[in-house]
């Protein structure tokens, strides 16, 4: 009895010392463990030191015995490298770990998985399919704190090839929801050759970091798969969906998903659907790729370290036929009536780059016309603004040249406009003037005295921006002849109307951040391509009333902050969001699928511009279709994402006509419900 008591006290002492040591290491390790965007950052320090939130998975070793038995060793730790208990006994939170074993056959580029499952029979087709999958029903053995060995239930077949690349993938999740810390996820892949020779063959086409430019982060199958390196172990040619017959082979599936509504099959009336676990239906027919599906290199990013970054330059039926899915390679339908029985001859016609643009070459066929090398280019500069006192008509000096520096005659341009707006404290007016008849000189310099006059009561800083394009004919006289808009990059100049110091409009977002997803954002027929230009028109006072049919009134606000937040909220909006554009074109955004996480304000915002309170001089926004009209500047931004009537009521209760919004009291940077805290992940 005494020995048992001693053992119990010894165990308690060891656990106490382990906790003290782990706490010391957690606190003393270099660098911050959590940022203001993590839930754990706001948790009680004692809770954090006890729970040690976070999860890191690391596969460290693997081997395959002659009888096909597959073994792997892995570590599961917190972000400081301290071991975690898989069962959640000695450290909080049970950890689910599944593993995949796969290999790349000799002479091939894609994996074949040893770990498989039979999916089906399908209640739709009655068919079953053998699919690559992870497993966790083998044998786990604990080797040390946070270190485990796993013996797979699946085996490599007799006579398996020991000379080719094999890979072990592990994906894990740690459930900390009882501590209000959510679920942590991580995965890892270990490459080896069973005969002990170095790994020389890998599948490394696109980096996960490239996907995360839009997906923030890539998170599939409930969140547990987060890297392309892991995804390609299962999404192989061997795996199909028995419910639809669609393959989930990575190059085919990914191309089709990103083509979405532009797939020929979808446009012909057949939706692109994959049915997953528990008959969950995933319809990708409404996906619109923000960078344009023609832009291969937005995903096949060059110079980012992928070993096979040039894979898109090697045509094959699977990848190419995924986007061009109206091509029947067996019969030659929609393929110049030429059947293609293998991939051997694809590059004969579809070489890397031809002599002319827009040909059958890879580069030519996927060239967006506005980026043609034959476009002369349109280059704007605003040189000066004079005579801009209240009541006066400003005179703007500007230049228009091509990219070689030669003058462009303003009168020959298809469109050329100056847009005036002000004040920069918060734009409230917008005037656009056609300046193609501006007098100029032979070197491309022009002056324009506006028809618009600065308001008599104007103070502070106003702005003028330039936009326009020339219509250029490419490949004239050929069957590929096309007219393309050669638009200039917008330029904006700020100018004082009362002699005070020029104060530019606040910068909220940056075009570079937009282009992380959009590639090269351009709107309104390529006329608007810089955020500084967009906000000249999309001010708090503007709606779509000029284009909206009478039967569809009231008008919709197109204030920039409201419009952009609502567009990116898309399918999660709780009401119809339609804007009428030029020619009464109807633009509905309720089916927009935002690929990122809207809680990450910094994905778009710069300089912490989302933080409260906002600027003191901001004006209310006109919102005829909103719950509140007019609506305060903070409420305009926040309720564009938080679209419920309850959110609007909450904002209304905290706003007075006399003193305005009090949002920052609760949601300021140091408040209990700061933006960072309520948006933490």
List the domain range (segments joined by +) for residue 569.
550-678
The pLDDT assigned to 27 comes to: 42
- Return d(Cα 672, Cα 681) in angstroms, integer: 16
Low-confidence ranges of the chain (pLDDT < 50): 1-31
Helix then strand then coil, in percent of the chain rounded to 5, is: 25, 25, 50
For residue 639, give the H/E element and its range: none
Q: Nearest 5°: phi and psi at 209?
A: -60, -30
Residues 570 and 650 in one domain: yes
The verdict on residue 26 lying in a domain is no
What is the pLDDT, as a whole number, of residue 597?
94
Asked whether residue 192 falls in the same domain as residue 106, the answer is yes
Decide if 573 is inside a domain. yes
**Whether residues 443 and 554 fall in one domain:** no
Question: Would residue 395 count as lying in a domain?
Answer: yes
pTM above 0.85, yes or no: yes
Looking up residue 482, the CATH number of its domain turns out to be 2.60.40.1930
In a domain, 324, yes or no: no
pLDDT of 24: 44
Pair (418, 393) in one structural domain: yes
Residues 564 and 450 in one domain: no
**Does 196 lie in the same domain as 92?**
yes
Report pLDDT digits (tens) over 319-336.
Answer: 999 999 999 999 999 999
Contact 428, 540 (CB under 8 A): yes
Are 150 and 89 contacting, i.e. CB atoms less than 8 angstroms apart? no
What local confidence, expressed as pLDDT, does residue 278 receive? Answer: 86
Note whether 519 and 587 are same-domain residues. no
Residue 7 is assigned to a structural domain of this protein:
no
The reported pLDDT for the residue numbered 382 is: 98
Q: Evaluate whether 68 touches 75 at the Cβ level (below 8 Å).
A: no
Bridge partner list, 579: 587
Phi, psi of 534, deg, nearest 5: -60, -45
d(CA 651, CA 635): 6
Residue 533 is assigned to a structural domain of this protein: yes
Residue at which a domain ends, from 513, 537, 561: 537
Answer yes or no: do 530 and 603 share one domain: no
Domain annotation covers residue 162: yes
- Helical pair 208-215 and 511-518, crossing angle rounded to 10 deg: 120
Is residue 369 in a domain? no
Dihedrals φ, ψ of 357, to 5°? Answer: -80, 160
Q: Domain total for the chain?
A: 3
Domain boundary among 480, 508, 537: 537
Let me know whether 50 and 157 are in one domain.
yes
Total residues found in the chain within this entry: 681
Task: Let me know whether 391 and 532 are in one domain.
Answer: yes
Report the distance separating Cα 497 and Cα 462, nearest Å.
7
- Give the C-alpha separation, 595 to 287, whole Å: 10
Rounded CA-CA distance 101/117 in Å is 13
Please tell me whether residues 54 and 194 are part of one structural domain.
Answer: yes
Q: Are residues 509 and 561 in the same domain?
A: no
Task: Check residue 224 and give its pLDDT.
Answer: 86
The pLDDT value recorded for residue 157 is 97
């Amino acid at each position: 009895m005494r020995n048992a008591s001693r053992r119990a006290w010894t165990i308690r002492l060891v656990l106490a010392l382990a906790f003290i040591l782990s706490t010391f290491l957690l606190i003393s390790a270099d660098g911050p463990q959590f940022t203001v965007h993590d839930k754990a950052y706001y948790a009680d320090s004692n809770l954090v030191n006890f729970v040690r939130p976070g999860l890191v998975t690391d596969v460290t070793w693997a081997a395959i015995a002659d009888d096909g038995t597959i073994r792997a060793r892995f570590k599961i730790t917190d972000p400081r490298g301290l071991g975690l208990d898989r069962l959640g006994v000695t450290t909080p939170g049970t950890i689910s770990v599944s593993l995949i074993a796969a290999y790349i056959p000799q002479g091939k580029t894609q994996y074949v998985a040893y770990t498989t499952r039979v999916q089906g029979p399908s209640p739709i087709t009655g068919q079953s399919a053998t699919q690559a999958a992870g497993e966790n029903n083998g044998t786990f053995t604990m080797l040390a704190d946070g270190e485990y060995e796993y013996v797979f239930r699946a085996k490599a077949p007799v006579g398996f090839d020991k000379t080719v690349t094999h890979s072990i993938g592990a994906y894990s999740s740690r459930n900390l929801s009882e501590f209000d810390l959510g679920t942590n996820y991580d995965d890892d892949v270990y490459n080896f050759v069973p005969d002990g020779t170095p790994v020389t063959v890998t599948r490394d086409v696109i980096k996960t970091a490239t996907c995360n430019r839009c997906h923030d982060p890539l998170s599939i199958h409930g969140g547990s798969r987060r890297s392309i390196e892991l995804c390609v172990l299962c999404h192989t040619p061997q795996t199909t969906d028995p419910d639809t017959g669609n393959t989930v082979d990575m190059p085919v599936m990914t191309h089709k998903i990103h083509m979405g509504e532009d797939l020929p099959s979808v446009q012909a009336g057949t939706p692109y659907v994959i049915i997953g676990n528990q008959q969950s239906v995933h319809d990708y027919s409404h996906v619109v790729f923000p960078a344009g599906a023609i832009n291969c290199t937005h995903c096949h990013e060059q110079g980012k370290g992928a070993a096979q970054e040039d894979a898109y330059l090697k045509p094959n039926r699977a990848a190419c036929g995924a986007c061009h899915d109206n091509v029947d390679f067996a019969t030659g339908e929609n393929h110049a009536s030429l059947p293609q029985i293998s991939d051997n001859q694809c590059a004969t016609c579809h070489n890397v780059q031809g002599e002319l643009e827009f040909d059958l070459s890879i580069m030519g066929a996927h060239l967006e016309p506005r980026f043609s090398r034959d476009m002369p280019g349109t280059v704007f500069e605003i040189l000066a603004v004079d005579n801009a006192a209240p009541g006066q008509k400003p005179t703007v000096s500007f230049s228009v040249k091509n990219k070689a520096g030669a003058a462009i005659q303003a009168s020959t341009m298809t469109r050329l406009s100056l847009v005036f707006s002000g004040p920069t404290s918060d734009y409230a007016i917008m005037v656009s003037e056609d300046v193609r008849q501006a007098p100029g000189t032979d070197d491309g310099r022009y002056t324009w005295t506006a028809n618009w006059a600065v308001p008599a009561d104007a103070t502070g800083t106003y702005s003028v921006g330039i936009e326009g394009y020339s219509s250029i004919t490419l490949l004239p006289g050929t069957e590929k002849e096309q007219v393309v808009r050669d638009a200039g990059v917008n330029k904006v100049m700020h100018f004082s109307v009362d002699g005070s110091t020029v104060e530019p409009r606040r910068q909220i977002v940056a075009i570079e951040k937009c282009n992380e997803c959009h590639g090269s954002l351009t709107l309104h027929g390529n006329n608007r391509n810089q955020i500084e230009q967009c906000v000249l028109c999309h001010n708090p006072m503007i709606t779509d009333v000029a284009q909206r049919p009478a039967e569809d009134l009231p008008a919709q606000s197109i204030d920039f902050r409201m419009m952009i937040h609502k567009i990116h909220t898309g399918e999660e909006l709780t009401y119809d969001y339609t804007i009428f554009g030029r020619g009464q074109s109807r633009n509905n955004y309720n089916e927009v699928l935002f690929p990122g996480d809207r809680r990450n304000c910094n994905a778009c915002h710069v300089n912490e511009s989302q933080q409260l309170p906002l600027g003191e001089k901001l004006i209310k926004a006109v919102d005829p279709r909103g719950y509140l009209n007019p609506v305060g500047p903070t409420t305009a931004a926040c309720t564009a994402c938080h679209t419920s009537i309850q959110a609007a009521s909450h904002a209304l209760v905290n706003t007075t006509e006399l003193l305005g919004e009090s949002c920052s009291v609760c949601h300021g940077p140091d408040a209990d419900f700061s933006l960072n805290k309520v948006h933490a992940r």
